[in-house]
Chains A and B, each alone.
Chain A
């Protein structure tokens, strides 16, 4: 549905987006993940026909954006980063304007506007002047503006910025729901968000795609060691050395000690499951085990590894 081929944008010799290529299937929800200034917005602006690319090509539903912009734009619902709106307009009025701009007739407007008002939970402010709305509401009005003409491809640039946690949960549900019938690409710098809504994530930094896969696969590819977090009832003796002796253990360190509890972080070889040996050891040594947990890589870890580590890690996932 979205086919991006070697898309490049150069600003005065400095590439902001450097030969970015990816493909998004119909019905897929893809997270476009990267730190601020990574080139996310520039890529989206080229994809939606706002900026001309220096080189490369974007196909939306098979239509080349920069050769047939009207036809390609008709397929897209785009919500730009700042969610800019006309402050003097009323919400329903704005949505009618957006629907008409996309070529909708009166009959379609009558149906589409109430529907999108409900979908984005803004029915209660339909007759309110946009300028007097809170940031969270404005964000949803902008989202509604991108959805009102029922586009096949939905491109959202940081859709949940400025919303409170309850609204964020609702909007994420909405985005997931959209992905059932339509294709969604959303950019974010918030990792849990990418993980919560997307089937797949594209990680971008310095204008290049570093990795693209499902969150689970990225995790598996980047994992170097098995890490266990252990909490014991505090005893008189130091226990770190005891654990260090377990076969396959690479490192054992005490991370926290209070009067009643000791916490340790244990790192073992990647292929070895040490949960059972750890339990038996505790029994044998007479240690009271309060918690034993395998630590999986969070999206934050994955992200940090991808964006900060050396080229070899990047090659491992590419």
Chain B
């Protein structure tokens, strides 16, 4: 366990040592603040669609997906590629650690940073609560959905980072991978076979997020995210093992 904690601590600390973290944090807060304001404005108009403010905030807008697709690769692009570029991978992997410990340590550090970003949005819950009644259950499942999808996106980003020693290339790979995951959701509208249709419907990220936002705790999207995350992390550890490509 010690190597895991060593990697986790170091990685989490280095987020806060790097300017990128503050840029991401600032962009995230400005964007989210703006979106929250817009949602409030729209829902305040008489012809507004019926719905709770926070449900719309948690994945109910296109903006949510736009910055999820950008921010996850930005958080993870450095994780393994920078170790390869600078050569620190050599002293890291010749220490008595397993590839799994390194991958998990880095993954959970990125997940913690991601959770830290969302922690600020709890303020919005209190703002809404100050003016109207808030049902706590959809908020909890909403945050669970954000954590699960975030975790999935970050694991894909970590895998992309294992492929290249160039951060920008890692970013582009991650973005492409996430776009593919996201696009999977459109397929259910075009495939005809009922089985395939059901499968792709089940894999549609925004449908999943919509369910979470309603306060429904469905195990299927949980299993979907967790198993894909595990697959990506496993793949990242395998890529790290093939380091003679270097």
CB neighbours (8 Å) of B18 from chain A are 88
Say yes or no: A51 contacts B244, CB within 8 Å.
yes
Q: Knowing A86-B10, A86-B88 touch, does A76 contact B5 (C-beta < 8 A)?
A: no
Q: Would you give the 0/1 interface string for B9-52, flagging 1 where the beta carbon is closer than 8 Å to chain A?
A: 11001100110000000000000000000000000000000000
| Interchain Cβ contacts within 8 Å, total number | 77
Q: A50-B243, A84-B86, A97-B10 are in contact. Are A103 and B94 (CB under 8 A)?
A: no
**A174 to chain B: closest CB distance in Å?**
19
Q: Is the interface of B mostly helix, strand, loop or mixed?
A: helix
Checking A76, A78, A101, A102 against B7 with a beta-carbon cut-off of 8 angstroms, the contacting residue is: A101
A35 in the interface (beta carbon within 8 A): no
* B96 interface hit (Cβ, 8 Å): yes
Please state if A48 and B97 are interface contacts (CB–CB under 8 Å): no
Known A-B contacts A73-B96, A89-B17; A100 and B2 likewise in contact (beta carbons under 8 Å): yes
Chain A residue contacts of B87, Cβ below 8 A: 80, 82, 84
State A103–B88 Cα separation when bound (angstroms). 18
Chain B contacts with A in 74-96, Cβ cutoff 8 A = 86-88, 90-96
Asked if B9 and A97 make an inter-chain contact with CB atoms under 8 angstroms apart, the answer reads yes
Q: How large is the interface on B (under 10, 10 to 19, 20 to 34, 35 or more residues)?
A: 20 to 34
Let me know if B98 is at the binding interface, CB within 8 A.
yes
B136, CB-defined interface residue at 8 Å: no
Confirm or deny: A39 has a beta carbon within 8 angstroms of a beta carbon on chain B: no
- Sorted nearest first, the 8 A-B pairs with minimum C-beta distance are A84-B87, A100-B6, A88-B17, A73-B96, A80-B90, A48-B94, A74-B96, A101-B95
29 A–B contact pairs at CB < 8 A? A49-B93, A50-B90, A50-B94, A51-B243, A52-B244, A69-B96, A74-B96, A80-B94, A82-B87, A84-B86, A84-B87, A84-B88, A84-B91, A86-B86, A88-B14, A93-B13, A98-B91, A100-B2, A100-B3, A100-B5, A101-B6, A101-B7, A101-B96, A102-B96, A103-B3, A103-B96, A142-B91, A145-B91, A146-B91
What is the interface of chain B, defined by CB distance below 8 A to chain A? 2-3, 5-7, 9-10, 13-14, 17-18, 86-88, 90-98, 243-244
